Structure 1
Amino acid sequence: MSLLEIQYTMLKYVIRNLQYLTLIFGVLFSFAVKAQGVVNIYNWYDYIDLSILPDFEQESGIKVNYQTFSSAHEIIQLLEQKKPIDIAVVPHFMLKQLVRKRLLSPLEQATLQPTRENLDAFIASRVTLVGAGDYAVPYLWYTAALGFNRSSLAKVLGDDFKEDWSLLFDAAQNAKIKGCGIAVADAPVELYATLLSYSGYPGLLDKTPLNRMRRLTRKNLFELRNNLRYIDSDRYLYDLGKGDLCLAMGWSGGISRAAQMNKDVQVVLPSNHALTMAFDALVIPKTAKNSAAAHQFINFLSKPEISARNVNQTFYGSPLKNIKPFLKPELQNSPLLQLTAQNKNRMQLLSAPGIEQQAEMDALWDAFSHQ
């Protein structure tokens, strides 16, 4: 081979490698650009410490576009309408449906290694249990709970009333309570699961016979509806806290906040029934435009000191281990926020309704809420 041929061969080699390097740097640059810009986040109303958002912006250089919704139905509609969302917070019992409809993108597990290392093993196993380990990271957990104003209830029931779900589901009792105000959250899945447990059945909505749902609705819910002041997912918290209600069924975090507003309000996890546990999850929809930033935000939320700020603000439980030192002193031993061995043994993960059960429950809930 002549010297000219050798030089020509070497030149082709250099050019080819420069092309490869250009391609590699282009991909890396593209990823870096995507990690900047804007991340579009959709979350439940009043479900985050809002000061976290500017802190993330300052640390990452990523602008946060933060939107809220007020029902599971609303966020499902947005996802089905292909709304460009980078991160959504969804109930765990919707995850199978979203995966089945191919509305979610698998998460980059290697990128989320810092988050995985911080997760409590019990909560992490719940994500696996619902078949969404590749698509979701737990955000906050909660239980269905009762909140009541003790002094108000004592006036109508006497001082020795029983602190359990009979306050809500027993027609004779809720008829007496009607005058001082009863409300429930707009949460059919949680309410039906709790009613099943109260009635002595497993709270497994995917296995509940349809005739049982109809019978319990007629026996308990229609009677209750006659004595309800309203059904609303946000209003009950403030009215219970202000003393405008004396009994409310809602989520543990919301009722705990009402108790902080009013010292007469007590939060009860009834001891004679299973705890209906649920969690909301962080997911990245197929329509995400900035997946890199979404992963970065998930890791940011999963720092113990950041997650604790959400707990301090919302009163919902963190899925992370080792956050107790970061909680407010008055929350560090709250039974509604601690994954104690006793609580874990009693917790029954809220199951997603089967297709037939969902259709039946939707019809029954519509009749109940518009009665």
Structure 2
Amino acid sequence: MTKILAALLIAFACAPASAAERVVNIFNWSDYIDPGVLEDFTRETGVKVVYDTYDSNEILESRLLAGATGYDIVVPSATFLQRQIKAGVLQPVSRKRLANAVNIWSEIDGRLSSYDPGSAHAINYMWYTTGVAYNVAKIKERIGKPITSWEQVLRPENLKKLADCGVYVLDSPEDILAITLNFLKLDPNSKSESDLRRAADHLVGLRRYIKKFHSSEYINALANGDICLAIGWAGDSLQARNRAREAGSDVEIAYAIPSEGTLMSMDNLAMPIDAPHVAEAYLFIDYLLRPDVAARNTKATNFANGVGPSRALIDSSIANDPSVYPNDATMRRLFTVTTPNQPQQKFITRLWTMVKTGR
């Protein structure tokens, strides 16, 4: 017995440290968190963070539908979240296990509930608008005034004036088709094939003036002065502005929510059905719901977060910036869209391929 016990003790002593290591595996959008938050979480809890990134909902969804992702937390946008809940690839998130759930912003949570009935599967992480980011000097040179309307961007004769200095557009049919439908005075949430085709045909007419469709590269392209305009997300656009300032360049970036209104979107914390480290996932989500932590993430990303009390802790230059936290009048002009069913999604995917490739 003594020899057996001694052997067991030796085996335990020689076992790699990682055998007892607590881990949480996260799959999130690129440039979407204060890196120091990850370090501080590990320092406070002893839980190691393995952090991977993606730049489109389609990438995340393909992983989830394939199964066995190995991730504990993912961050789908609301429309994709709705479909993933129906597909059974996400598990319920119990708010009773989250001490900081009291900090959830009720207004944003209420909007999210239309995608996640009963708020059973997700908690808002960040919310934002899709608008127009642009190089102030280059736009003034070409059209003589700031961007205030979708007319200046979505009319071929107007976009043509900007093509020489570079235009990027989000690689996101959800955003771009909805905005185009609204611009054409159609229901931005329409799932009608004729409406969607009309929007796609309009975008095909713009294609020759668009340098690239991408959902993250426009940040650096704007900051470096490589392009002069992007249809992009508010937080990313303001990151581009900040990077240009930090580099000491003469590039000035502005962001506009056009007067016709635009899409409001939400990215949300959720847990795959087969998450291997559930307890650690709850720890991390609860940590993100602390007002001080949420404020740090908004400061780092320039995206508004779903933790109500955090706004008081955010620098006024961000908390009072209508690009990040729109005023009431602008909020009334924001629209949301619901999830297309599978046949509709296939049709949208085909249309989007046509928009991007011209065939």
Asked if 1:249 corresponds to 2:236, the answer is: no
Asked if 1:143 corresponds to 2:129, the answer is: yes
- Per the normalisation by structure 1, the TM-score is 0.85
How far apart are residue 162 of structure 1 and its match?
5.5
Query: In percent, how many aligned pairs have the same letter?
Result: 27
Aligned to 1:216: 199
Structure 2 counterpart SS, 1:293 = helix
1:237-272, Cα deviation, whole Å (9 max, x unpaired): 11112222111101111111122225522110112x
Asked if 1 retains the 8 angstrom alpha-carbon contact of 2:126 and 2:303, the reply is yes
Aligned to 2:271: 284
How far apart are residue 328 of structure 1 and its match?
2.8
How far apart are residue 120 of structure 1 and its match?
1.3
How far apart are residue 361 of structure 1 and its match?
1.2
For 2:113 and 2:147, how far apart are their aligned partners in 1? 37
Structure 2 counterpart SS, 1:143 = strand
For 1:36 and 1:111, how far apart are their aligned partners in 2? 22
How far apart are residue 107 of structure 1 and its match?
1.1
Aligned length: 332
How far apart are residue 339 of structure 1 and its match?
5.3
Q: Which amino acid aligns with 2:170?
A: A
Aligned to 1:8: none
Find 2:91's aligned residue among 102, 105, 110. Answer: 105
Structure 1 stretches of 4+ with a deviation exceeding 6 A read none
Structure 2 counterpart SS, 1:201 = coil
For 2:110 and 2:21, how far apart are their aligned partners in 1? 33
Asked if 1:59 corresponds to 2:47, the answer is: no
For 1:317 and 1:77, how far apart are their aligned partners in 2? 27
For 1:360 and 1:200, how far apart are their aligned partners in 2? 21
Asked if 2 retains the 8 angstrom alpha-carbon contact of 1:90 and 1:280, the reply is yes
For 1:323 and 1:340, how far apart are their aligned partners in 2? 17
Aligned to 1:38: 23
Structure 1 counterpart SS, 2:322 = coil
For 1:323 and 1:163, how far apart are their aligned partners in 2? 30
Aligned to 1:225: 207
How far apart are residue 161 of structure 1 and its match?
6.1
Structure 2 counterpart SS, 1:54 = helix
Asked if 1:154 corresponds to 2:140, the answer is: yes
1:153-204, Cα deviation, whole Å (9 max, x unpaired): 22222x2465211222101011111111111111110011111111112211
Stretch deviating more after TM superposition (246-255 or 355-364): 355-364
For 2:289 and 2:78, how far apart are their aligned partners in 1? 17
For 1:275 and 1:71, how far apart are their aligned partners in 2? 19
When Rg is computed on C-alpha atoms for both structures, the one with the higher figure is 1
Asked if 1 retains the 8 angstrom alpha-carbon contact of 2:112 and 2:266, the reply is no
Aligned to 2:74: 88
For 2:160 and 2:328, how far apart are their aligned partners in 1? 37
Structure 1 counterpart SS, 2:304 = coil
Q: Which runs of 5+ in 2 are unaligned?
A: 1-19, 246-250
How far apart are residue 113 of structure 1 and its match?
4.4
1:296-311 residue pairs with structure 2 within 5 A?
Answer: 296-311=283-298
Distance change (3 Å), C-alpha of 1:175 and 1:333: same
Aligned to 2:171: 186
Aligned to 1:321: 308
Aligned to 1:14: none
Asked if 2 retains the 8 angstrom alpha-carbon contact of 1:168 and 1:224, the reply is no
Find 1:349's aligned residue among 318, 336, 339. Answer: 336
Q: Which runs of 5+ in 1 are unaligned?
A: 1-34
1:250-305, Cα deviation, whole Å (9 max, x unpaired): 1111111122225522110112x223100101111111111111111101001111
Structure 2 counterpart SS, 1:183 = strand
- Per the normalisation by structure 2, the TM-score is 0.88
Aligned to 2:153: 168
Q: Which amino acid aligns with 2:296?
A: R
How far apart are residue 36 of structure 1 and its match?
6.8
Asked if 1:266 corresponds to 2:254, the answer is: yes
Structure 2 counterpart SS, 1:129 = coil
Distance change (3 Å), C-alpha of 1:332 and 1:127: closer
For 1:179 and 1:306, how far apart are their aligned partners in 2? 42
Aligned to 2:12: none
Structure 2 counterpart SS, 1:51 = helix
How far apart are residue 80 of structure 1 and its match?
1.9
How far apart are residue 352 of structure 1 and its match?
1.9
